[in-house]
Amino acid sequence: MPIEELVRVGNILPIVRWGEPVMHSPTREVTDFGSSLQTLLADMFATNAAANGAGLAATQVGVDLAVFVFDCDDAQWMRRVGLVCNPTVTFAQRRSRRFIELDEGCLSLPGAFVETMRPDYAICRGQDQYGDDIEIIGTGTLARCLQHETDHVNGLVFADRLPHKARKELHARHERVAHHFPIDWPASPATE
């Protein structure tokens, strides 16, 4: 299915929280690009939109497949919408690599953000929804999203990259607002 259709036809699924085994284990490679993958992708786009997310990995809806969707801006404020199956991320050469510290959050730990250092440029390679090779060059929020979602398919959550003190603060921030997010959020909306 074309992306324009995938973003229109999905159902909103509950988002899996940190601590569930699927969130902390490497995923299986996508090898079947048939109708079940297309349904999953459509549901992931719908779920990401309902949660107002920048991106969402299959692990976040309880599926251990190496795929994620994204809908966010790049450094030029251009909206970028897409997906990557079997992603790998590479960065600029060490001499020209720049790091930026920005607030980062995760839909699987809703409502909590903490400053996280990441490269401001990333190249993500993988396959599209048909199994064709793709390469996405990310800057701005898109670069951060490509890194964050690729971490998910590798069994990492962004807190795994934080120092102990920042990790504790992130969890404390989540605990303060967790009661606003029902267990089946965003299928059920957050409360005020």
Domain residue limits, the chain: 3-180
- Looking at the predicted structure, is the pLDDT value of residue 56 above 70? yes
> CATH code for 3-180?
3.90.45.10
**CA distance readout (Å), 81 to 2, 26, 63, 76, 99:** 12, 24, 21, 14, 24
Q: What is the mean pLDDT of residues 71-81?
A: 96
What is the pLDDT at residue 185?
A: 98
161/180 Cα distance (integer angstroms): 26
What is the pLDDT at residue 53?
A: 97
What is the pLDDT at residue 177?
A: 97
Active site residues per annotation: 149
What is the pLDDT at residue 192?
A: 78
Q: Which residue has better confidence, 94 or 56?
A: 56
Give the chain's radius of gyration (CA, Å).
Answer: 16
Quickly state the pLDDT bin for 189 (edges 50, 70, 90).
very high
- Looking at the predicted structure, is the pLDDT value of residue 91 above 90? no
